[in-house]
Amino acid sequence: MDLRFQVSYEKATQALNFMATKDGGRISKLKAIKLIFLADRYHLRKYGRPVVGDQYFAMEHGPVPSVTKDLADKSRYLSDREKEYAERFIETDDDKRLTLSSVEDVDQDVFSDSDIEALNFVWKGYGSLEQWALKNITHAYPEWQVHQAELGAEGCQRTEMEYADFFRDPDPQDPRLSTVGYRDFFSEVIDEEQKESAREIAEEETRICSLWR
């Protein structure tokens, strides 16, 4: 089943703000986006929904949450409401838009307790890694790998990912994991029974949401 969720620009903004704050107030945009992907992946596999609920695309440097990237970029595709909200909490630091800074405390009220759990889990497990190590990790995940050949085709810069693939596990022998000292914290805290239950919850949520479209 093709799983679908409703994206929250408030959560996306605050997730970026959370990661910037944890990294001393300023963070690489690429690193922030990869950590948010990992938080979405954790929460989906444990609770049956992602934190942000964004639409993910496989791109050269790994999975990219579309709206979250737009918020980090101050994209022209944002509505006035989305842009004004983001500008209250984060700002892009330079002309190349490679880093972003926190300019206001994280509004944790937009998150559930389990959302905060996921964000903290990912920061504790992977926050010390630099952006290119995180990129290599995401390239080892099946949900990105299934699109690798398509991305190698001429003119293809991105292709939509499927949340159902987030439930698959990487090959622990993949050299992209061993070279960065990767530890699979996901498998340590989420067993197969929890993962299967979360998958059923996600499928049911998708069916319910489809009735309102």
The percent of residues in the chain predicted with pLDDT above 70, rounded, is 98
Q: Which of the two residues, 190 and 94, has the higher pLDDT score?
A: 190
Other C-beta atoms lying within 10 Å of the C-beta of residue 39: 26
Structure tokens at 77: 């595709």
Record the pTM: 0.94
Q: Distances in Å between the alpha carbon of 77 and those of 40, 105, 108, 142, 188?
A: 23, 25, 26, 29, 39
How confident is the model over 113-129, as pLDDT tens digits? 999 999 999 999 999 99
Q: How far apart are CA 66 and CA 40, in angstroms?
A: 13
At 66, is the secondary structure helix, strand, or coil? helix
For the chain, the farthest-separated pair of C-alpha atoms sits apart, in whole angstroms, at 47
Q: Distances in Å between the alpha carbon of 15 and those of 29, 51, 106, 182?
A: 12, 9, 8, 23
R_g of the chain computed on alpha carbons: 16
